[in-house]
Amino acid sequence: MSPRAARFIVERVLRRVRGGTLIIEDPTGVQRSYGTGSPEAVIRMCSESVWTAFFGGSIALADAYADGLWDSPDPVALVRIAARNMSALDRVRKMTAPVLRPVEVFRALYRPRGRGQRRRDVAAAVEHDEGVAVFENARRPRRRLLGGGDVKRRLRRLFYGK
């Protein structure tokens, strides 16, 4: 989706913001305000591509923040506004999911895979497998770890010194 189309849709959704004021400053310096009241949060966009990150949810927005594509002087206020408006945003997401989900799947299947993307995919798969292993170990509390002693005894020793 182009940033221009994403901006059009996101601005329509942001008009539903209640329980706080969200001010978005685009890369040209133009500010738009959504909602009223306290808290007040500001998003300063450094790139138009941030508009498309809104469709990726909180993870895509966090990645865009880490990449320096947007900034906020008070991220805590921003999270508060998002939490207060979660139910309204979820309703919009449910309405758009039947249209957007097939497009996302298509893009994921047919995007070019370079060496860097393959490495990220492998790293994500390994991380997922390690998470599953940790979960499996947690489900079996009598399982032996690192060559001896049960989990309860080792945890007691770690936390209580007994």
Alpha-carbon 58 to chain mean position = 2
pLDDT at 83: 87
Give mean pLDDT in consecutive 10-residue pieces for the chain, a chain of 162 residues.
86 87 92 91 92 81 89 91 81 74 71 70 65 55 50 64 60
- Asked if 53 and 7 count as a contact pair (C-beta separation under 8 A), the reply is no
pLDDT at 137: 55
Alpha-carbon 8 to chain mean position = 21
Q: How far apart (Å, rounded) are the C-alpha atoms in residues 126 and 120?
A: 10
pLDDT at 21: 93
pLDDT at 143: 47
pLDDT at 70: 92
Residue 38 carries which DSSP code? S
Dihedrals phi, psi of 16, to nearest 5 degrees: -90, 0
pLDDT at 149: 54
pLDDT at 145: 46
pTM of the model: 0.58
pLDDT at 30: 93
**Single-letter code of the amino acid located at 60:** A
